[in-house]
Amino acid sequence: MEANNRITTDIVIVGAGIVGASIAYHSARAGASVTLIDKALPGSGATSASFAWIGKPTSVDRADASTPLRRLALEDWVRLADEVPGITISWTGSIVWSDDVMAQYGGASAEDLLNADQIAALEPELKVIPVRAQHNAADGAVDPVAVTDALGRSAQDHGAEVLTGVAVYALDVTDGKVKGLHTSMGYVGAETVIVASGADAPLLLRSWGVDLPVHPSPALLSRFVASKHLVRTILYGDTIEVRQTPDLLLVPSEFDGESSHADLAKTGARIRNDIVEAFDVDASQLHWIDTRIGMRPMPHDGMPLVGRLPNLNGVYVSVMHSGVTLAPVVGRMVANELVRDVVAGELRPLRPNRTVANLD
Ligand SMILES: Cc1cc2nc3c(=O)[nH]c(=O)nc-3n(C[C@H](O)[C@H](O)[C@H](O)COP(=O)(O)OP(=O)(O)OC[C@H]3O[C@@H](n4cnc5c(N)ncnc54)[C@H](O)[C@@H]3O)c2cc1C
């Protein structure tokens, strides 16, 4: 495979976030020779800042082009946790009472709604109990970096090469067909290049006239150590979104223009106050660890972009929001398509040529 600093492989994946690592695992398991490349460590992009709530569409979610794919997400998580050592899922369920979600129910009653007594029984430390809330009993959460590491290890067990600390600088394209990649460690030849580099994905393609409609969408994750077990499920109300692992209390929030570590510390302090207001806990029982910014790869229309680029033969993209939820199902489908030539109908409405400029 390797000669004079030159690797040649069936599939090279740019980006070892949870999406790229899942494609690497599934493709190597299906028999392809695979190289997975990341400029840093696996899972160090948006994946490292993810809240990592995994769920499927609810009874009131408006259907869109990604709904058929999203409906399969949890089954694929169950399968993956069975197949790959080191993946564990906390199947806690979620409780949602944000205004936008509750407005979908209007005054109607529904099987997936909880009343205040039921909410209090599930979340006894919550101080202000909503009158009603949506209960998604099947939802869960994962440690996204641990999962990415586990997928990378399993890909290696199936023969994949994982290159970390290697930046991909440019595609090598001749006569409209990709031949490989120029990287910080030399040239890597490939039949197929999969661009799974998250919010950075447009950068690699721009010099080939491809305007991938993806923008970085910053969001924050604050982490605390709590000396009390405060949260049992995943909670999402208008003032607080939170879940708790055995070690940490995790709170995602909107980016609010933070531009220094001091700003992030202020945001952490504000969120600690929000927790104190929402739960039966005092500030001394909450130790702030950090607040980090993750650049969510956000396709302009919100739908995943998964498929070949028609005018760049051999280049395939896999970029999406809710990439943690979707990584197992997308990894399986991309590998089936590229290695076994089996195309999933769920991916058809998500192809990049629906919106990508200069691709006709
Ligand atoms: C605060 C927050 C909360 C979130 N909550 C959820 C949630 O609850 N549920 C959910 O499903 N999703 C959630 N998300 C979104 C989810 O985290 C992302 O969709 C997912 O992590 C994207 O994974 P990825 O592998 O596509 O990208 P990334 O994790 O960003 O990985 C891309 C990788 O590419 C590498 N790379 C980039 N350019 C190059 C290059 N030129 N050469 C080599 N390597 C390169 C980077 O180093 C990086 O490791 C959340 C995100 C944030 C920030």
By alpha-carbon position, which residue is closest to atom 31 of ligand 1? 17
306-341 tens-digit pLDDT: 999 988 999 999 999 999 999 999 999 999 999 999
pLDDT of 325 = 98
303-313 tens-digit pLDDT: 999 999 988 99
**C-beta separation of 271 from 278 below 8 A:** no
pLDDT of 354 = 84
56-94 tens-digit pLDDT: 999 899 999 999 999 999 999 999 999 999 999 999 999
Q: If you measure from the C-alpha of residue 50 to the centroid of ligand 1, how many angstroms do you get, rounded to a whole number?
A: 8
Mean pLDDT, residues 98-115 taken together: 91
Beta strands 113-115 and 132-136: pairing type?
A: antiparallel
Please state the atom number of ligand 1 nearest to the C-alpha of residue 168. 42
Q: Is the CB of 324 under 6 A from ligand 1?
A: yes
Q: What is the DSSP string of 12-51?
A: EEE--SHHHHHHHHHHHHTT--EEEEESSSTT-SGGGG--
Paired residues of 194 in beta bridges: 13, 316
If pLDDT is split at 50, 70 and 90, which confidence band does 1 have?
Answer: very low
By alpha-carbon position, which residue is closest to atom 13 of ligand 1? 322
Paired residues of 223 in beta bridges: 250, 290
Residue 293's SS3 state is strand
Q: Is the CB of 252 under 6 A from ligand 1?
A: yes
Mean pLDDT of the chain: 94
CA distance 2 to 276: 56
